[in-house]
């Protein structure tokens, strides 16, 4: 397949070269009819300016591909019980809340079920003294502040043999440019809710950008014995309290589509021009400026502009491929902490021109038994595997 592509590409280039040669030979016009070259200074200045823009683009793109993951400043602890849960308390034949509970609040990456949460905390909840108390989870992820508030006002055992809660929860995301998203409503426990998209946005003069992600908000209230010393735990310990099946059912299936759904990508754009503009965003302007400047090197501006534009698109493709390789090397490097590798793995989905290759390589990561399970799960999710 690759051999066929290379052969076809060679034929296309040869055909274009032959056509240009024949046109020039059949032109018949004397050199005197050709437009004059622009002054040397004009060509040098325009060439230097255009080349500087492209060089800056390359440097910023590669640096973005190698940059560290956003720092998280906030609690990342979870406590889980070490003893079996206490016996249920009854008044008559009706189950009533009593004693000690653990309120778990955690913000996790979509589909994450193991490892360290993005931010998490477990609170001691005592019935009924902690009713109406506001429990808060707050963290800074890069330049975004994630905040979750939860209040339990009452809990009652319902006829459907489950606890019904009265209370409120409020999730908000606020970025440094003051944009924010929030949602609020009643509470259900255990529950999976969603913050607004965290982070994301294009970087000036970079093909890659910061990837936004809709974090999941996991909340649960589990009974524990009064004398349980508790222990530090990871996300998989929290999941194990109720069982992975329950949490899997709570997660909305349509939200588990990995960002590399190729069919969705193709259907979401009307033309390559729209897809390219979407991929570049405001970086179209400096690239357009570079194309106009470099076109001044040609005797005829407009054909020169077309040639330079095609060359710039090929240059962007080469940058994209190189950045993808750098990211993958970062993910596979065993010297990096697992959490960092799991975070960086997502950057593989930000490729603009090589989504199939990224999907294929994520599939290889997901099937590589030598990699940590958290990384393999992450790769499978990003690829769109359920």
Residue numbers at the binding site for another protein (CB under 8 A): 5, 8-9, 12, 28-29, 33, 177, 179, 262, 265-266, 269-276, 279, 281-282, 284-285, 288-289, 292, 300, 302-303, 305-306, 309-310, 313-314, 317, 351-357
CB-nearer residue toward another protein: 281 or 333 = 281
The least distance separating another protein from the CB of residue 190, rounded to whole angstroms, comes to 34
Strand residues in 158-265 grouped as ranges (E): 163-175, 180-185, 191-198, 201-202, 209-210, 213-224, 231-232
Between 133 and 321, CB nearer to another protein: 321
CB of 146 to another protein, least distance (A): 20
Task: Please report how close the Cβ of residue 307 comes to another protein at its closest, in angstroms.
Answer: 9
Q: Could you give phi then psi for residue 168, rounded to 5 degrees?
A: -150, 155
Residues sharing a CB contact under 8 Å with residue 88, sequence separation 6 or more, in sequence order: 95
User: Smallest gap, in angstroms, from Cβ of residue 333 to another protein?
Assistant: 25
Minimum CB separation from another protein for residue 323, in Å? 14
Nearest approach in angstroms of CB 315 to another protein is 12
Contact assessment for residue 384 and residue 257, using Cβ atoms and an 8 Å cutoff: yes
Min separation Cβ 262 and another protein, Å: 7
CA 58/CA 316 separation, integer angstroms = 8
For residues 120 and 351, which CB has a smaller minimum distance to another protein in the complex?
A: 351
Cα-to-chain-centroid distance, residue 214: 8
Of 317 and 363, CB closest to another protein: 317
To the nearest whole angstrom, how small is the minimum distance from the Cβ of residue 277 to another protein? 9
Nearer to another protein, 247 or 298 (CB): 298
Asked if 233 contacts 85 with a C-beta cutoff of 8 angstroms, the reply is no
d(CA 75, CA 77): 6
- With respect to another protein, which residue has the nearer C-beta, 50 or 81? 50
We find the least distance from the C-beta atom of residue 278 to another protein, in angstroms, to be: 8
Q: 150, 103 in Cβ contact below 8 A?
A: yes
Cβ atoms of residues 171 and 135 within 8 Å? no
Parallel, antiparallel, or unpaired: how do β-strands 163-175 and 180-185 relate? antiparallel
Question: Which of residues 219 and 296 has its CB atom nearest to another protein in the complex?
Answer: 296
Q: Which of 198, 237, 228, 26 is nearest to 115 (CA)?
A: 237
Tell me how far apart the alpha carbons of residues 281 and 321 are, in angstroms, rounded to a whole number. 19
Complex with another protein: residue 12 or 48, whichever CB lies closer: 12
In angstroms, rounded to a whole number, what is the distance separating the alpha carbons of residues 291 and 304? Answer: 9
Which of left, alpha, beta for 331 (phi over 0: left; psi -120 to 50: alpha)? alpha
Q: Shortest approach of another protein to residue 353 CB, angstroms? A: 4
Query: Which lies closer to another protein via its Cβ, residue 145 or residue 279?
Result: 279
Alpha-carbon distance values, 256 to 219, 249, 355, 382, 384 (Å):
18, 12, 18, 9, 7
CA distance 156 to 176: 41
- Closer to another protein by CB, 68 or 282: give it: 282
Please say whether the beta carbons of 173 and 146 come within 8 A.
yes
């Amino acid at each position: 397949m690759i051999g066929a592509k290379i052969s076809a590409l060679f034929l296309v280039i040869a055909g274009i070269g032959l056509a240009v040669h024949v046109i020039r030979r059949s032109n018949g016009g004397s050199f005197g009819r050709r437009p004059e070259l622009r002054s040397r200074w004009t060509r040098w200045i325009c060439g230097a300016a255009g080349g500087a823009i492209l060089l800056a683009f390359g440097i910023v793109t590669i640096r973005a591909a190698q940059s560290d993951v956003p720092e998280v400043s906030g609690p990342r602890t979870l406590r889980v019980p070490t003893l079996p849960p206490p016996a249920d308390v009854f008044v008559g034949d009706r189950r009533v809340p009593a004693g000690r509970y653990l309120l778990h609040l955690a913000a996790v990456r979509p589909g994450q079920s193991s490892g360290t949460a993005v931010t998490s905390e477990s609170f001691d909840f005592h019935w009924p003294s902690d009713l109406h108390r506001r429990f808060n989870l707050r963290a800074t992820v890069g330049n975004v502040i994630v905040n979750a508030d939860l209040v339990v006002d009452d809990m009652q055992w319902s006829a459907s043999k489950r606890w019904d809660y009265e209370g409120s929860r409020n999730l908000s995301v606020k970025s440094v440019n003051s944009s924010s998203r929030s949602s609020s409503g009643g509470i259900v426990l255990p529950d999976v809710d969603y913050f607004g998209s965290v982070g994301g946005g294009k970087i000036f003069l970079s093909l890659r950008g910061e990837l936004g992600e809709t974090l999941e908000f996991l909340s649960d209230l589990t009974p524990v014995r009064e004398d349980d010393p508790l222990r530090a735990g990871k996300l998989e310990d929290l999941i194990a309290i109720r069982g992975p099946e329950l949490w899997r059912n709570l997660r909305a299936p349509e939200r588990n589509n990995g960002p590399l759904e190729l069919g969705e990508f193709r259907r979401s754009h009307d033309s390559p021009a729209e897809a390219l503009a979407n991929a570049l965003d405001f970086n179209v302007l400096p690239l357009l400026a570079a194309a106009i400047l470099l076109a001044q090197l040609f005797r005829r501006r407009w054909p020169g502009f077309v040639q330079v534009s095609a060359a710039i698109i090929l240059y962007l493709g080469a940058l994209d491929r190189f950045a993808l390789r750098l990211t993958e090397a970062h993910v596979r490097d065993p010297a990096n902490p697992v959490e960092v590798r799991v975070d960086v793995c997502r950057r593989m989905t930000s490729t603009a021109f090589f989504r199939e290759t990224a999907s294929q390589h994520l599939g290889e990561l997901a099937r590589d038994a030598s990699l940590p399970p958290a990384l393999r799960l992450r790769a499978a999710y990003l690829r769109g595997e359920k």
